[in-house]
Amino acid sequence: MLFQVRMDVSIPRNLAPEEVEDIVAKERAYSQEMQHGGKWRHIWRIVGEYANYSIFDVRDNDELHQILSGLPLFKFMTITVTPLVRHPSSIRDDDS
């Protein structure tokens, strides 16, 4: 199943810079692992915001929830999930 996920990040300003740096490094490693594994198909930064749009290709809602809740920045995120289905006019074979 494909899902579009918007993630808005709001790290508290009083968090120690070293802690922020550590969490962000863990976040990058985790997201790249999911991308290499094919679960996290696309990620785009939203210009001017600490936010992104991502496309996930997962088995079901539970797997998506497991992946998202495993994000090191999860507790600092507002997440919006939109399920996607293939459009009948699509000319691509790899978007289902």
- pTM of the entire predicted model: 0.90
| pLDDT(44) > 70 | yes
The DSSP symbol for 76 reads: G
Mean pLDDT of 69-83: 98
Domains of the chain: residue spans and CATH: 2-84 (3.30.70.1060)
Predicted confidence (pLDDT) per residue in 2-28, tens digit? 999 999 999 999 999 999 999 999 999
Longest dimension (CA), the chain: 50
- Rg (Cα) of the chain, in Å, rounded? 15
The torsion defined by the Cα of 45, 47, 49 and 53, in degrees rounded to 10, comes to: -30
| pLDDT(1) > 80 | yes
User: What phi, psi does 34 have (nearest 5°)?
Assistant: -65, -35
